[in-house]
Amino acid sequence: MNNPKFLFLQKRIADWRRLVSKCLLLLVCVLLFSIKPAFAGINDDIYDGNMFVVYSGNGSLVPPRQTLAQTLEEHKPAFLAFYVDDSSDCKKYAIVISQVQEFYGRAAEIIPIDVDTIAPKEKYDPTEPGYYYSGAVPQVVVFNQSGQVVLNKKGQVPYEEIDDKFREVFDLLPRTESVQLKRRSFNEFSSELAK
């Protein structure tokens, strides 16, 4: 095996392996240093995904189950929430919209509307979200069973104000006279079942 051609060939293969290894290492280094981290966050106006999934952990809000027209036709109370995913104000407000769904999602239709999806028109029908949109986000609109607007506000409307309107819509006791709602524990021990 001391053939000079064979030794030359082995040396060439070893040189190529070293060269390929160095090139791969260089490529990895270039890729690592050229990748920029995502700088999106709750306090900036940079898009970083669906805000309900990212900031309130509630991806069930988008897409809504029903349209506004369907909800009004069924004489069901509705909650419109106008938003854009790349607004820090909307990102911070996502948790409140999720909280509204938590308490009223079975009795009222919660309809988040990304304002970028509202088609520009000269005139909107009262069954279309564009009819109620005022040009600012976040914005909330609450409808009663008759389809009348009982709350229409821009900005980060506190949950308590929305809760008060829904309590009127559903003829519930005011918060001051109501029993404090408590979450039920999933790991609750029932002594009745243990007997």
Pair type for strands 109-114 and 78-83: parallel
Give the CA diameter of the chain.
99
Query: What would the mean pLDDT of 84-111 be, rounded to a whole number?
Result: 94
Domain 51-169, what fold? Glutaredoxin (3.40.30)
Query: What would the mean pLDDT of 102-131 be, rounded to a whole number?
Result: 95
What pTM did the predictor assign?
0.73
pLDDT over 80 at 38, yes or no: no
- pLDDT band at 185; cut points 50, 70, 90: low
Contact 155, 164 (CB under 8 A): no
Average pLDDT taken over every residue of the chain: 87
CB count in 10 Å sphere of residue 176: 5
- Every domain of the chain and the residues it spans: 51-169
- pLDDT band at 182; cut points 50, 70, 90: low
Express each pLDDT in 152-180 by its tens digit.
999 999 999 999 999 999 999 888 887 76
Tell me what pLDDT residue 73 has.
96
How many residues in total does the chain contain?
195
Tell me what pLDDT residue 193 has.
44
